[in-house]
């Protein structure tokens, strides 16, 4: 079960029926009768009518108000249900994308939409047979008490247009016309051969022209322990691999499936199929069929990859310091295949970078930050760099005018100050967009508000040592896209360090060498990052946010590259950082007067400067004498006497100030303490 934080709105209670006020009705009648008996005037009886009339009017008014409140509550609940429906749809989109990333299916394999490295799947026997509705992990908290809520709960529990997956290791029966059955079997074979190397899975197919395309597969007839064989006609005929391994059994009718299988796919046509599992679950889907020419072409490519010699570790990639800007935050971070490796963080809108020690992760983060700054002015891009792995990774970038600040594990108070300042920056940007009447930062004029990119090296250590990081970054990950605030989080183990809320919004993924296949699979849906050799730092796999995984080599940034970027923007105006600077060592009256909340009269005695971190500013710390006494405490040399002198100077404006000390006459002390403030006198 996945916790998406979705909750059903509470039901609307029916309006309570207002009770009839019997006492309020009877009391005026009794009073009128008594008054008539005392005065003898018949007009006194007229007042007896007022009680029932007023009571009835009150009852009607309360009922009308209750109905109005009920209608308003109904409208609010309908609106809340619509918002919840949209949130469920968004959660389904994320879940669906994750499902297709983990199980791309044969169509994405032959089209090249997934990584074309050899043997990139987590489990060769986990195969997609169709596209349909599956169980969703989205769960709603709360009680569904009406039809609208029940419908949303039912919709939340089903995920449409998702991959329908079966376990081929238990055997798969394919029932239907021979042409359709072979098309489905071709897709299953391509998935298994894409996921495992020839020495991991052996393939056995029947003879004849219908299966001649498989002759190019390097897996055909290999001596691997695991095998996948195809049988036609439904009979469990003997042959290579018949004793062990998984089987794909093709038959024209279900009763001809002699071999025992764990799932049966019944093909009603090219667009409809029913998938029955051994546990009784049945799903309807559109089968994923693969043509013979496509399968033959892919088999030849697989054979060529298997026969290709292992290439030596590639050399370093030169950094392009003069690269031109692109949409969003497009930047060239290195080379991918025969072309540049381009990443657009704004489309992410956040990124995760994984890599073990020595993989080149820190160098990649430096190259990415430098590439974004190369083609953008400080008015368009501000960089906040956090290094919690030794305080040296981002040192070369400090010369760039785009860098608003570098925070390290050597100065944890400054890092805590950053974490407190980021929510204030979110509020500031929200107010700016609201005042401008635009929904996103893209609608503002160029340079009106720079995109803020927070780059963290070793996020796990950063979150462990600085309280509140996880909550602040989770909130920023959900609201940052429209505000132009983006996260790039580097860590060695993203599955353990990064929360679900951040992972769901981090579309850009880069994985350099990792130690465990599970980390590579969690990042990209492929274990290949765990197979990168130790002697190839800067090599990795990247997903630019579209689900396509490609190999890349990180560019190497040199001192000359950074100097060129700094010179290019040395005359550009630099916006202030999104936080106030630390308090100055020496505070003068002029500084106190210049900041917000400075003293404006004799009733505000300046004490100094206060650090309003949440408000991204310094404010005047003042004392209002009318609010009560002031106690100043501090040890020797703490500045206590200087503060008292400043208070006395402020009090002398329009007042008589009596300064007491241990050497003052006891009678003077007694007189002052008996009436502090009487007659305009103040003691300090």
Q: CA-CA distance, 231 to 564, in Å (whole number)?
A: 65
- H/E element, 225: none
Q: Please, what is the Cα angle at 353 between 348 and 355, to 5 degrees?
A: 165
Determine, yes or no, domain membership for 94.
no
Q: CA-CA distance, 250 to 233, in Å (whole number)?
A: 6
For residue 212, what pLDDT band results from cuts at 50, 70 and 90? very high
Q: CA-CA distance, 498 to 354, in Å (whole number)?
A: 11
Q: CA-CA distance, 650 to 628, in Å (whole number)?
A: 16
Q: CA-CA distance, 5 to 475, in Å (whole number)?
A: 13
Q: CA 623 → CA 250, 609, 633, 650, distances in Å?
A: 88, 12, 15, 10
Residue 470's pLDDT is 92
Contacts for 239-244: CB closer than 8 Å, 24+ residues apart: 239/204, 240/204, 241/202, 241/204
**282-286, 546-550, 658-662 — most confident range:** 282-286
pLDDT greater than 90 at residue 410: no
Q: CA-CA distance, 137 to 551, in Å (whole number)?
A: 31
137 and 193 both lie in a single domain: yes
Q: CA 342 → CA 116, 324, 371, 544, distances in Å?
A: 18, 12, 10, 8
pLDDT greater than 50 at residue 1: no
Q: CA-CA distance, 37 to 553, in Å (whole number)?
A: 107
Q: CA-CA distance, 453 to 376, in Å (whole number)?
A: 13
* Best CA proximity match to 172, nearest among 127, 218, 106, 225: 127
Query: 489-518, pLDDT tens digit by residue?
Result: 999 888 788 888 898 889 999 999 998 888
**72-81, 230-239, 280-289 — most confident range:** 280-289
pLDDT greater than 60 at residue 340: yes
CB 90 within 8 A of CB 163: no
Among 196-210, 529-543, 596-610, the range scoring the smallest mean pLDDT is: 596-610
441 and 540 both lie in a single domain: yes
Determine, yes or no, domain membership for 92.
no
29 and 122 both lie in a single domain: no
Q: CA-CA distance, 510 to 520, in Å (whole number)?
A: 10
CB 544 within 8 A of CB 508: yes
Domain count of the fold of the chain: 4
55 and 112 both lie in a single domain: no
Query: 576-596, pLDDT tens digit by residue?
Result: 888 777 777 777 777 777 777
Determine, yes or no, domain membership for 582.
no
296 and 321 both lie in a single domain: no
For residue 288, what pLDDT band results from cuts at 50, 70 and 90? very high
Residue 348's pLDDT is 84
322 and 452 both lie in a single domain: yes
Q: Please, is 642 exposed, middle or buried when counting C-beta atoms within 10 Å of its C-beta (0-12, 13-18, 19+)?
A: exposed
pLDDT greater than 60 at residue 121: no
Residue 23's pLDDT is 61
What percentage of the chain has pLDDT greater than the value 90?
Answer: 33
Helices (H) and strands (E) in the chain, counts: 17, 26
* Best CA proximity match to 109, nearest among 223, 203, 189: 189
Among 281-285, 378-382, 554-558, 614-618, the range scoring the smallest mean pLDDT is: 614-618
Out of 303, 327, 350, pick the residue that ends a domain: 303
Rg (CA), the chain: 37
Among 156-170, 230-244, 414-428, 482-496, the range scoring the smallest mean pLDDT is: 230-244
Determine, yes or no, domain membership for 89.
no
**Average pLDDT of the segment spanning 634-651:** 77
**Average pLDDT of the segment spanning 18-39:** 66
**Average pLDDT of the segment spanning 352-376:** 92
76 and 115 both lie in a single domain: no
Out of 245, 269, 303, pick the residue that ends a domain: 303
- Assign residue 153 the CATH number of its domain: 3.40.50.300
| Alpha helical stretches, state H, 103-177 | 105-111, 147-156
Find tokens 């934080």 and name the residue: 5
**Average pLDDT of the segment spanning 633-649:** 78
CB 368 within 8 A of CB 572: no
For residue 667, what pLDDT band results from cuts at 50, 70 and 90? low
375 and 260 both lie in a single domain: no
Among 83-97, 436-450, 537-551, 586-600, the range scoring the smallest mean pLDDT is: 586-600
- Per DSSP bridges, beta strands 381-387 and 403-408 are parallel
Out of 275, 303, 331, pick the residue that ends a domain: 303
Three-class HEC string of 527-584: CHHHHCCCCCCCEEEEECCCCCEEEEEEEECCHHHHHHHHHHCCCCCCCCCCCCCCCC
**90-94, 269-273, 585-589 — most confident range:** 269-273
488 and 377 both lie in a single domain: yes
Residue 387's pLDDT is 92
Neighbours of 556 (CB within 10 A): 18
Residue 320's pLDDT is 85
For residue 654, what pLDDT band results from cuts at 50, 70 and 90? low
* Best CA proximity match to 533, nearest among 367, 360, 301: 360
For residue 120, what pLDDT band results from cuts at 50, 70 and 90? low
SS3 assignment, position 587: coil
507 and 627 both lie in a single domain: no
Find tokens 């071999």 and name the residue: 259
For residue 520, what pLDDT band results from cuts at 50, 70 and 90? confident
Mean pLDDT, the chain, integer: 82
Query: 320-338, pLDDT tens digit by residue?
Result: 887 766 778 999 999 987 6
DSSP 219: T
Query: 430-452, pLDDT tens digit by residue?
Result: 999 999 988 889 888 888 899 99
Determine, yes or no, domain membership for 96.
no
Residue of higher predicted confidence among 92 and 114: 92
**Average pLDDT of the segment spanning 235-242:** 44
**Average pLDDT of the segment spanning 6-17:** 63
Determine, yes or no, domain membership for 496.
yes
pLDDT greater than 90 at residue 453: yes
**Average pLDDT of the segment spanning 5-27:** 62
Neighbours of 614 (CB within 10 A): 11
547 and 670 both lie in a single domain: no
Sign of CA dihedral 74, 79, 85, 87: negative
Residue of higher predicted confidence among 570 and 18: 570
Q: Is 656 left (phi over 0), alpha (psi -120 to 50) or beta?
A: beta
CA dihedral 612, 613, 616, 618 (to 10 degrees): 30
**Average pLDDT of the segment spanning 655-675:** 65
Query: 45-85, pLDDT tens digit by residue?
Result: 666 666 677 667 676 767 777 778 778 888 888 888 888 88
CB 145 within 8 A of CB 11: yes
Residue 484's pLDDT is 92
The residues pairing with 228 across neighbouring beta strands, listed in sequence order, are 203, 246
**Average pLDDT of the segment spanning 588-605:** 71
Determine, yes or no, domain membership for 158.
yes
CB 577 within 8 A of CB 356: no
Determine, yes or no, domain membership for 214.
yes
457 and 605 both lie in a single domain: no
Q: Which residue range is the domain that position 662 belongs to?
A: 589-683
DSSP-assigned states of every residue in 467-479: TTHHHHHHHHHHH
395 phi and psi angles, rounded to 5 deg? -55, -40
């Amino acid at each position: 079960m996945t916790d998406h934080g979705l909750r059903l709105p509470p039901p609307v209670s029916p309006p309570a029926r207002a009770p009839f006020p019997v006492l309020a009705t009877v009391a005026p009648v009794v009073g009128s009768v008594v008054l008539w008996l005392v005065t003898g005037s018949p007009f006194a009886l007229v007042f007896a009518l007022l009680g029932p009339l007023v009571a009835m009017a009150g009852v009607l008014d309360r009922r009308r108000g209750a109905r109005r409140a009920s209608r308003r509550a109904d409208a609010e609940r309908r609106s809340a249900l619509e918002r919840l429906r949209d949130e469920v749809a968004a959660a389904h989109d994320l879940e669906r994308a994750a499902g297709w990333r983990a199980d791309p299916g044969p169509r994405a394999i032959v089209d090249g939409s997934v990584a074309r490295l050899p043997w990139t799947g987590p489990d060769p026997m986990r195969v997609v047979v169709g596209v349909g509705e599956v169980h969703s992990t989205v769960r709603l908290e709360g009680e569904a008490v009406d039809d609208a809520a029940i419908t949303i709960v039912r919709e939340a529990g089903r995920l449409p247009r998702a991959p329908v997956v079966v376990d081929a290791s238990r055997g798969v029966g394919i029932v239907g016309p021979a042409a359709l059955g072979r098309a489905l079997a071709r897709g299953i074979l391509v998935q298994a051969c894409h996921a495992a190397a020839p020495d991991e899975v052996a393939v056995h197919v029947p003879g004849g022209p219908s299966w001649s395309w498989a002759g190019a597969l390097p897996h055909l007839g290999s001596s691997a322990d695991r095998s996948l064989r195809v049988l036609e006609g439904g009979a469990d005929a003997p042959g290579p691999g018949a004793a062990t391994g998984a089987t794909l059994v093709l038959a024209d009718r279900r009763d001809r499936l002699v071999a025992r299988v764990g799932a049966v796919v019944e093909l009603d046509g090219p667009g409809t199929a029913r998938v029955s599992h051994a546990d009784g679950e049945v799903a309807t889907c559109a089968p994923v069929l693969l043509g013979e020419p496509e399968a033959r072409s892919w088999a030849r490519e697989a054979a060529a990859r298997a026969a290709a010699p292992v290439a030596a570790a590639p050399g370093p990639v030169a950094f392009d310091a003069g690269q031109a800007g692109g949409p969003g935050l497009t930047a060239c971070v290195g080379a991918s295949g025969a072309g540049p490796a381009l990443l657009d963080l704004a489309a992410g809108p956040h990124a995760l970078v994984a890599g073990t020690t020595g993989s080149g992760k820190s160098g990649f983060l430096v190259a990415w930050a430098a590439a974004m700054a190369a083609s953008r002015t400080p008015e368009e891009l501000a960089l906040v760099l956090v290094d919690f792995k030794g305080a040296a990774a981002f040192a070369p970038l400090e010369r760039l005018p785009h860098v608003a600040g570098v925070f390290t594990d050597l100065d944890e108070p400054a890092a805590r100050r950053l974490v407190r300042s980021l929510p204030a920056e979110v509020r500031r940007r929200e107010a700016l967009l609201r005042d401008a009447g635009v929904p996103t930062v893209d609608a503002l004029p160029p340079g009106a508000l720079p995109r803020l990119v927070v780059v963290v090296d070793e996020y796990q250590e950063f979150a462990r040592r600085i309280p509140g990081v996880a909550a602040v970054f989770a909130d920023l990950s959900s609201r940052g896209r429209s505000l132009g605030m983006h996260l790039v989080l580097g860590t060695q183990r993203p599955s353990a360090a990064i929360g679900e809320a951040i992972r769901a919004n981090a579309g850009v993924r880069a994985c350099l060498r990792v130690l465990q296949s599970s980390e590579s699979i969690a990042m990209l849906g492929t274990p290949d990052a765990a197979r990168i050799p130790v002697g190839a730092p800067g090599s990795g796999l990247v997903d630019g946010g579209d689900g396509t995984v490609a190999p890349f080599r990180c560019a190497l940034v040199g001192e000359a590259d950074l100097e060129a970027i700094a010179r290019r923007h040395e005359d550009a105006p630099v916006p202030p950082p999104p936080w106030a600077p630390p308090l100055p060592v020496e505070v003068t009256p002029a500084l106190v007067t210049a900041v917000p909340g400075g003293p404006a009269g004799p009733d505000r005695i300046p004490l100094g400067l206060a650090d309003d971190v949440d408000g991204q500013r310094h404010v005047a710390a003042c004392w209002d004498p009318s609010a009560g006494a002031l106690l100043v405490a501090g040890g020797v040399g703490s500045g206590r006497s200087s503060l008292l002198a400043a208070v006395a100077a402020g009090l002398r404006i329009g007042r008589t100030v009596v300064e007491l000390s241990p050497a003052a006459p006891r009678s003077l002390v007694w007189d002052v303490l008996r009436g502090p403030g009487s007659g305009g006198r103040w003691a300090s």
